[in-house]
Structure formats: structure tokens, C-alpha cells
Amino acid sequence: MKSIQEIRAEFQAAAVTELDALCAVYIEDERKGVQALIGKAKKQRERLEAERARTEKMKAYEYQYEHLGYVCGIDEAGRGPLAGPVVAGAVILPKDCGLLYLNDSKQLSEKKREELYDVIMENAVSVGVGFASPARIDEINILQATYEAMREAVSKLTVRPQILLNDAVTIPGMEIPQVPIIKGDAKSISIAAASIIAKVTRDRLMREYDKIMPEYGFASHKGYGAASHIEAIRKYGPSPIHRTTFIKNFIT
């Protein structure tokens, strides 16, 4: 008879999809340790099925429009910060997309976003990223700069989408039909994927800025209006990546 430690190693090495078969092998083993492993495995399977069901619900818009051709999700990161660019992501996922755990990037841990970024880049039909600099934001305002970044993201796609699913907005100057979806990053896997791409791209950029200007703490707050950030602006003055129109109340 195998030891519980050996059986535990089998469960740990097994893929989630293999757990049912493994449970069947040891179901008659009455040792508490083995039964505990089986119970844990069943919960893993239940969580996986729940995630599959959640993801399936997030494909409703993709199913609705897939007959048109390529469906592209669009979202942005960085409309609210005091510093750094606004970044837009445009993502076309394959029709048979089996990716799980896609969600509004704000609902995911930084580690999970980084993992999903790599998975999206590997599996997507195409990904485009657009930027609007702090100077451009000051020049034309944050909303227009966001639209500009979104248009750039779409222009960088390697294939032309037939429909755009946008998080809440309708982008001016686009010939491609658009569907604005309120809280779209929690309702569409394509928009969720775009949200993750935009957020991870921007966070990485802010960490690079932190290496050049560590006194502002960009790596921790990513340019948002944290108390420590506002204090640094007052102490050191604005940096080259601060949005002048956003920080006028904090500088004299």
C-alpha cells in the first residue's frame, strides 16, 4: 500500500483535469489523510467548473458578434493618475478561446495580471497598445487623449477587426462599428484581456520611471494620487512625466 506522502505527491503532480480519475483510484482508501486529499481535489474541480461557468458568461458579447468576423476588446489604464501616460489595449482573442481567469484588471492581483499578460500575448490573434503622453493629456485633455491612445491601439493590430467592444466609451473617428459596454471589463473576455494588457504595460512603464526618479515612488503608487506621492510633488516639484493640469492644486 502506498504511503499518504506518496499519494499526496501524485495529487500535487496531477493536472486539475486528472483529479477525478485520481480520486476514483483512492476513493476506497479509508485513511483520513487520503480522504482529505480527495476532498481537497474535489474542491479544486468545483472551483475550476465555477471559473469555466463565469468565463462562459463573459463570452456573451463575443458570441453575439462573432458572425461579423474578428471581435476586438478595448480598454485603458491610467486615466486618473497625476503622472505618466494613459495606455490603451486592443485585443482580438480566437473564437475558440479557452482562457480562464480573465477579469477586470483591478480585480486581479499584480502577480495574476502578469501571468495573464503572458498568456494573452501567447494566445491572442492580435494585440495592439496605444499611448498618450502626459504632455498630450495636458494639451487635449484626458478624455481626448484616451480616445487617441485607443485609436493607436487599434491601428497597431495586425488584422482588422470587424467590431469593437469598448469599455463604456464610443471612440470618435473610428470607421469600425463599436459597442460601448458599461463595466465591460467585467462582462467581456475581450475587454478584460485589453484591460490586463493596458494595466500591465503601464505598470511596467511606471516601474521604469521609478528607477530614473525614485524620489516620487512611482513603482508603488503608479502615479496615482497617494498621500506619499502628493507629498513628493510638494517637496521636489513636478517631474517631466507629471500632468500639469492634474497637479495644479498641489504646486504653488
**Rounded-to-integer distance, Cα 153 and Cα 195, Å:** 12
34's enclosing H/E stretch is helix 32-57
Over residues 65-77, mean pLDDT = 97
Fill in the amino acid letter for 65.
Answer: Y
pLDDT recorded at residue 166: 97
Check whether 227 has a pLDDT greater than 90: yes
Instruction: Give me the DSSP letters along 105-144.
Output: GGGS-HHHHHHHHHHHHHH-SEEEEEEE-HHHHHHH-HHH
CB 75 within 8 A of CB 195: yes
The pTM assigned to this predicted structure is 0.88
**Rounded-to-integer distance, Cα 183 and Cα 167, Å:** 6
Check whether 252 has a pLDDT greater than 70: no
Report how far apart the first and last C-alpha atoms of the chain are (Å, whole number). 77
**Rounded-to-integer distance, Cα 81 and Cα 155, Å:** 25
Over residues 119-137, mean pLDDT = 97
The mean of the pLDDT values for the chain is 93
Using only C-alpha atoms, the chain has a radius of gyration, in whole angstroms, of 23
Q: Return the percentage of the chain with pLDDT > 90, whole number.
A: 73
Q: What are the backbone angles phi and psi of residue 180, rounded to the nearest 5°?
A: -80, 130
Check whether 122 has a pLDDT greater than 90: yes
Lowest-confidence pick of 49-58, 63-72, 81-90, 145-154: 49-58
Over residues 99-108, mean pLDDT = 88
Q: Which is it for strands 178-181 and 126-132: parallel, antiparallel or unpaired?
A: unpaired
Q: Return the percentage of the chain with pLDDT > 70, whole number.
A: 100
Q: What is the pLDDT of residues 157-211, one digit of tens each?
A: 999 999 999 999 999 999 999 999 999 999 999 999 999 999 999 999 999 999 9
Q: What is the pLDDT of residues 23-39, one digit of tens each?
A: 888 788 888 888 888 88
CB 91 within 8 A of CB 127: yes
pLDDT: which is higher, 127 or 252? 127
Instruction: Give me the DSSP letters along 183-252.
Output: TGGGT-HHHHHHHHHHHHHHHHHHHHHHHH-GGG-HHHHTTS--HHHHHHHHHH---TTB-HHHHTTT--
Check whether 2 has a pLDDT greater than 80: yes
Over residues 30-55, mean pLDDT = 86
